[in-house]
Structure formats: structure tokens, C-alpha cells
Amino acid sequence: MRKIRTAQTSIFEVFAEHEIGRELQAMSAWLDEHPELLAWVAEDLGTKQLQDTGREGMTAESVLRCALLKQHRQLSYEELAFHLLDSVSFQALHAAH
């Protein structure tokens, strides 16, 4: 079953001391201040209709953060996947809460 939010703090909550890192940190802080958005995302993802079988998907929070990151940086899905693997700041935004 898909979770709405990650309960455990991530070790990846370190943003680079760079303009983009500070921008991502501000976005993360704003998202942390608006947890009500997660219910909308979870509803769109159909969280209530999933069964307790198979692999767990990304949390609604991670989906929201990745979608914002993809759109804000105008990335393709392939580029997003690369940056999430390669960049500590992108990982921090993805995992922060």
C-alpha cells in the first residue's frame, strides 16, 4: 500500500551551498509548511484503492517532490532519474520533510 509520507528522517537532507541548492532548500521548506497538499496527491494516486500486495510505490510526498523538481528544472524523466541518483541536493529535496 502506498504511504502518504515518509516517517523517517533521511540522511540526505543536506543541500549544496549553491544558488540551486538554496532554491531547492526553500522549496522543501515551503512543502514542509503545506502538508495538506499530500492528501490531494494521495487522492490522485488512488492510494485508497491499492491492495496490500506487491511492491510499495513511492510515497505521495516523494511523488509530489519529484514532480515539482521535474517541472521546476524542466527535466525529462531520464534526466530526473540521473539527477536523483547523482545530486545530493536533488536527493535532499526528494527525501526531505
- Segments making up each domain of the chain, as ranges: 19-95
Residue-level pLDDT at 12: 43
Exposure string of 7-38, with b = 16+ CB inside 10 Å and e = fewer, is eeeeebeebeeeeebeebbebbeebeeeeeeb
Cβ neighbors of 83 (< 8 A, separation 6 or more) are 69, 73, 75, 90
Residue-level pLDDT at 85: 83
Residue-level pLDDT at 94: 66
Q: pTM here?
A: 0.67
56 by Cβ neighbours in 10 Å (0-12 / 13-18 / 19+) ranks as: exposed
Per residue of the chain (97 residues), give pLDDT as tens.
556 666 544 434 566 677 877 888 888 888 888 889 988 998 888 755 666 677 777 888 888 988 998 999 899 999 988 888 887 666 776 665 5
Tell me the three state secondary structure of residue 66: helix
